[in-house]
Structure 1
Amino acid sequence: MFPIRDHNPSQSRPVVTIALILANVAIFLLTLPLDEAGARLWTELALYPAAVAQGELLWGLLTHMFLHAGLLHLAGNMLFLWIFGDNLEDQFGRLGFLLFYLACGLAAAAAQIAAESDPGVPMVGASGAIAGVMGGYLLLFPRARVDVLVIVVVLVRVVTLPAWLMLGVWFVLQLASGYAMAGVGPGVAYWAHAGGFAAGVALTLARFLWLGGPGYWRRTHGQPPHPPSQFAPSRIPPVRRP
């Protein structure tokens, strides 16, 4: 299932969220392996757990968050950031959100390094940092509505789910996949996703308590503290694959 939008409008222009998306796209274009220079730049900016453990190539802890292994990898991550990032930026402010995002990315990297059976495998992608954004979103807006594109074998349909269900299922899948794929070899950094998500929840806790903790949930009923976006019913009909 793929989220396509939420019903939680931001109250200000999400400058940092937009800037992060543009930075990721720009670096992706710079590192396209169309020539030796682009491939070398991609290689040098990746995160190498073995090197970090030796105190080398430490810049990879930050630069890996802006690298992607392909267009679909980039597009999926940026879609998640666009949907969930603006509301966290509203809550933390621009500088606060940037620091939050980078801290979640560092926590995600630490989780993957701790769990990685092959420390020589490079790690790239913004998904750990974005998972932190999703964790913070879950804590503050558990009942915000999210429109999700669901593909089940032969059916394609858009459904609206509460954030706690969509994000909770996503987190459980990361944990289950991390255990299932342990020792299999290079692949998706599931533990980075789980670690980033947990860090996002932890780093948002202070903001949640400042807003009133459980009292904030009672006041807002777990929904956005402002009127939700209203969208016309989806025109995407159920599609049966041939």
Structure 2
Amino acid sequence: MFLPVGDTPNPRNYTPWVNWAIIAANVAVYLLISLPLTAKGIQPRDPLLQEYLQYLAPLARSWAELRQMLSQLTAYDLFVFAHGYKPGAPQLGDLFFSLFLHGGFWHLFGNMLFLWIYGDNAEHRLGRIGYLLTYLVSGVVATLFFSMFAGRSMLPLVGASGAISGVLGLYFLLFPRNQVKVFVMLFPFFMNVVLLPARWVLGVYLVIDNLLPFLAGSQSSVAYGAHIGGFLAGLGIAWVGEHFAWKWPWTDQYKDLGRRPQAKDTVIDAEVLAPPLADLREAIAQQNPNQAFQVLQQVGREELSQLSPTECAILADWLEQAGYSIAATRLLRGCLGQRANASNLADAYLALGLLRLKQGQPTAAYQHLLNVFDYNPSPETAERARQALAQIDVYRRK
């Protein structure tokens, strides 16, 4: 048995109220609605039963099988049929309400366990409102993605799995260096908690548990399509959020950094630098941020790509101090993407990690600070990364 029980690192002194509220809402719906209705029988004269039978009858292979189905029906089955999302009869209210209905205790338990493990980091990174909106949007996208392959089916879809898959997609992109605590029980040989890379665990969830069965056309009560759709939605939201540093883009004067139009036939020669870039480099060398800002908007993307990672790190620090965090983030991410073979990438990763730390995002900083040591950092850079990592609470299995 392999059971995820936690993750590391987590934000220090942070209470994920929205995540807890979502968990509480799901549990409350189960205790107050699902559980009582599950113990309640059906009323033969219920008009909803007649409608349900029109859907149920074609699924039975014999009269005896239909009678057996009817004998196992509960009031909750009819409630799910009425309020679960049905691709063949879509309703806006069902689209959202179905996210809080579950097929049973273990369905609820598995979903809430995953939300408890991964949701706190996601909420801390996105903010409370942003996290709630992302959760709901992911759930809606997951349901609609499922509907694309369900045709006119009247089989109701219920559960928070699609929305939670969106959280997992976010986590996959935003926290690649995190580790998941997994309780492994191979009785009687091995019982212990092991740490596994988060992307391994989430990769198994996406590919082995969902994508392969989906492609194979597996007949199951599990909505693989919803899980895949939610995961893709989370990935997309994370990519857009990182691109804008999780801030409204119009709040940053330098949001279009590096987008100065270039002549189509112009070729940038590393040995013949355009005057704006030469001025920018001179300002960096002279430690003059005001002069750098004066010429910054005149520098195009191709010219910015000529900056070394160390120059990017210095300029990004100035931008962050001046309140232009979107520009600082874009500059560093662009530098890391365009200068993949540079010898001093460790400086850029350190700058991005320290930037995240200044923004109060230690778990996001952790991802970049660990990358520092993969790029042969100088002793000074390595020491600064170690000092920053020491500020982050990390669970270590001894």
| SS of 1:147 mapped into structure 2 | strand
Say whether 1:188 aligns with 2:226.
no
| SS of 1:68 mapped into structure 2 | coil
Note if contact 2:6-2:181 (Cα within 8 Å) is conserved in structure 1.
yes
Deviations 1:162-205 (A, max 9, x none): 1111112211121111112x2x5451001110110010010111
Residues in 2 aligned to 1:72 and 1:86: alpha-carbon distance in whole angstroms: 22
**1:18: which partner in 2?**
20
Residues in 1 aligned to 2:144 and 2:166: alpha-carbon distance in whole angstroms: 13
**1:239: which partner in 2?**
none
**2:170: which partner in 1?**
136
| SS of 1:201 mapped into structure 2 | helix
- Give the gaps of 5 or more residues in structure 1: 234-242
Query: CA separation of 1:162/1:121 partners in 2, compared to 1, >3 Å: closer, same or farther?
Result: same
Say whether 1:115 aligns with 2:149.
yes
Instruction: Name which of structure 1's ranges 127-136 and 207-216 shifts more when overlaid on structure 2.
Output: 207-216
**2:384: which partner in 1?**
none
RMSD: 2.6
TM-score, length basis structure 1: 0.84
**2:238: which partner in 1?**
204
Say whether 1:47 aligns with 2:192.
no
Say whether 1:227 aligns with 2:227.
no
Say whether 1:176 aligns with 2:176.
no
Say whether 1:2 aligns with 2:12.
no
Say whether 1:161 aligns with 2:196.
yes
Instruction: Name which of structure 1's ranges 141-150 and 13-22 shifts more when overlaid on structure 2.
Output: 141-150
Note if contact 2:88-2:151 (Cα within 8 Å) is conserved in structure 1.
no
| SS of 1:72 mapped into structure 2 | helix
Residues in 1 aligned to 2:186 and 2:144: alpha-carbon distance in whole angstroms: 34
Query: CA separation of 1:229/1:179 partners in 2, compared to 1, >3 Å: closer, same or farther?
Result: same
| SS of 1:227 mapped into structure 2 | coil
Residues in 1 aligned to 2:201 and 2:148: alpha-carbon distance in whole angstroms: 27
Note if contact 2:80-2:156 (Cα within 8 Å) is conserved in structure 1.
no
Structure 1 position 221, deviation (Å):
5.9
Residues in 2 aligned to 1:14 and 1:158: alpha-carbon distance in whole angstroms: 24
Note if contact 1:118-1:185 (Cα within 8 Å) is conserved in structure 2.
no
Deviations 1:109-137 (A, max 9, x none): 01111122661211111011000001101
Residues in 1 aligned to 2:103 and 2:368: alpha-carbon distance in whole angstroms: 35
TM-score, length basis structure 2: 0.52
**2:139: which partner in 1?**
105
| SS of 1:9 mapped into structure 2 | coil
The residue type paired with residue 8 of structure 1 is: P
Note if contact 1:144-1:223 (Cα within 8 Å) is conserved in structure 2.
no
| SS of 2:102 mapped into structure 1 | coil
Instruction: Compare relative contact order (CA 8 Å, sep 6+) and give the higher one, 1 or 2.
Output: 1
Alignment partner of 1:75 out of 102, 109, 120: 109
Note if contact 1:150-1:158 (Cα within 8 Å) is conserved in structure 2.
yes
Larger Cα-atom Rg: 2
Query: CA separation of 1:199/1:23 partners in 2, compared to 1, >3 Å: closer, same or farther?
Result: same
Instruction: Name which of structure 1's ranges 67-76 and 6-15 shifts more when overlaid on structure 2.
Output: 6-15
**1:35: which partner in 2?**
40
| SS of 1:6 mapped into structure 2 | strand
Deviations 1:70-90 (A, max 9, x none): 111100100000111111111
| SS of 1:122 mapped into structure 2 | coil
